[in-house]
Every structure is written in structure tokens, then in C-alpha cells.
């Protein structure tokens, strides 16, 4: 897409499992399109005043999910703007969130294999749900539960294992242009 060209409306929203590259791709899309990045995890951390592992440990997953829904609702109510929205991997668990996401703009699911997720998340201790005795089993179980939610929410799916970040970004920009022109 040439610089300065803008879509008539809305946002590009990235969904996908932990380690699927949402934050990195969001930054690349921001550079390509000049839209600001909004990250639901960062907004939750900002509003809670503590990091995600502390929210899970001190308040539990349900409170994290409540906060996630609250920031998503605020984003939706702030109206149609041109933003890249990166989301937490579990945001699709709640039906209300899935409905909001679909209304907010072009939703892209970054699909990634369990093997690749394990590789990318192995050294990071910032994801409380993967701090288990058997992270691989946890990843497979969560993926199995969520896969239909991602599919149901997304306007586009991209298999990312064999693509570079620039290839993924270019694909999303092209598809978003088509989506918003329709």
C-alpha cells in the first residue's frame, strides 16, 4: 500500500494464541499504515496498575477477563478510528468479546502450530497460563478449546509458521484494503 492511503473506516484487529506474533505484526502494520497500535494487554496492565502475572496471582483469571472485556468495550465505544488492535490470546473466550471484535473492524487470526507456540513461549515467564508442569499439553488443550472461537471471530486466517513477518504484514495490508473497499 502506498504511503498516505487510508481505509475508509475502522481498525485492523489481530487475534491468535500466545506467541502467534500479534504484537510484532501490530508494530509492522503500524509502520506500514501509520496507524497507532492499541494493545488490550497493555491497557489492562495500565488500568490494573500491575503486571499480568500479578493480576492472575492476586485476583484470579476471572478478574483479568473482566478487565479485558472492560478495555475492549471502551475501545469499541471510542468509535471507528484507524487503529491496529493487538489482543490477548484468550480474548475470544467470551462470546461478548467475539461480538465486539467482529464489529470493530477487520479481524485477522494469526494461526500458529502448537510446536511453534511452544518454541516461542518457552523462555517467557510472563504468561501465567503456561506456567504449568506440561506447557505443551496446556497449549494443545487451550488451542483445542479456542480454535473454533478464533475461526468464528476472524474475517481472515493466516498460517504463519512458514512466513516472515514482512510477508504476513503485506498480506494483511492487501486483504484489509479489499475488505474495507467492499
CB of 87 to ligand S3P, least distance (A): 7
3-class secondary structure per residue, 107-161: EEEEECCHHHHHHHHCCCCCCHHHCCCCHHHHHHHHHHHHHHHHHHHCCEEEECC
Q: Which of 15, 28, 89, 153 binds ligand S3P (CB under 6 A)?
A: 89
Q: Quick check: 107 and 101 in contact, CB under 8 A?
A: yes
Q: For ligand S3P, which stretch binds (CB under 6 A), given 82-90, 98-106, 107-115, 171-179?
A: 82-90
Closer CB to ligand S3P, residue 8 or residue 123?
A: 123
147 binds ligand S3P per the rule CB under 6 A: no
7: DSSP letter = -
Q: Of the ranges 73-81, 101-109, 124-132, 149-157, which one interacts with ligand S3P (CB under 6 A)?
A: 124-132
Spatial distance between the Cα atoms of 163 and 158, rounded to a whole number of angstroms: 9
Site size toward ligand S3P (CB under 6 A) is: 10
**Residue 21 in contact with ligand S3P, rule: CB under 6 A:** no
Distances (CA, A) of 73 to 13, 66, 131: 14, 11, 29
The one among 127, 140, 155, 177 contacting ligand S3P by CB under 6 A: 127
Binding of ligand S3P by 88 (CB under 6 A): yes
- Complex with ligand S3P: residue 64 or 179, whichever CB lies closer: 64
Look up residue 94 and give its DSSP letter.
S
Contact 108, 175 (CB under 8 A): yes
Nearer to ligand S3P (CB atom), residue 6 or residue 124? 124
Q: Coil, helix or strand for 169?
A: helix
Among 43, 129, 143, 163, the residue binding ligand S3P under the rule CB under 6 A is 129
- What is the tally of helices (H) and strands (E) in the chain? 8, 5
Gap between the Cα atoms of 30 and 142, Å rounded: 29
Min dist. Cβ of residue 58 to ligand S3P (A): 14
Query: Whole-number minimum distance, CB 89 to ligand S3P, in Å?
Result: 3
Binding site for ligand S3P (CB under 6 A): 18, 22, 41, 52, 88-90, 127-129
Amino acid at each position: 500500500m502506498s504511503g498516505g492511503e487510508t481505509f475508509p473506516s475502522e481498525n485492523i484487529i489481530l487475534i491468535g494464541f500466545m506467541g502467534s506474533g500479534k504484537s510484532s505484526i501490530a508494530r509492522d502494520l503500524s509502520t506500514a499504515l501509520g496507524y497507532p497500535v492499541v494493545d488490550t494487554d497493555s491497557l489492562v496492565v495500565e488500568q490494573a496498575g500491575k503486571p499480568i502475572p500479578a493480576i492472575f496471582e492476586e485476583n484470579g483469571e476471572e478478574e483479568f477477563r473482566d478487565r479485558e472485556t472492560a478495555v475492549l468495550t471502551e475501545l469499541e465505544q471510542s468509535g471507528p478510528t484507524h487503529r491496529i488492535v493487538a489482543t490477548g490470546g484468550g480474548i475470544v473466550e467470551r462470546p461478548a468479546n467475539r461480538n465486539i471484535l467482529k464489529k470493530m473492524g477487520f479481524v485477522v487470526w494469526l494461526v500458529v502450530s502448537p510446536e511453534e507456540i511452544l518454541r516461542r513461549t518457552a523462555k517467557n515467564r510472563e504468561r501465567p497460563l503456561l506456567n504449568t508442569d506440561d506447557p505443551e499439553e496446556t497449549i494443545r488443550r487451550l488451542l483445542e478449546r479456542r480454535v473454533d472461537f478464533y475461526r468464528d471471530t476472524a474475517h481472515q486466517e493466516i498460517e504463519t509458521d512458514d512466513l516472515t513477518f514482512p510477508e504476513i504484514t503485506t498480506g494483511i495490508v492487501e486483504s484489509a484494503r479489499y475488505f474495507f473497499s467492499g
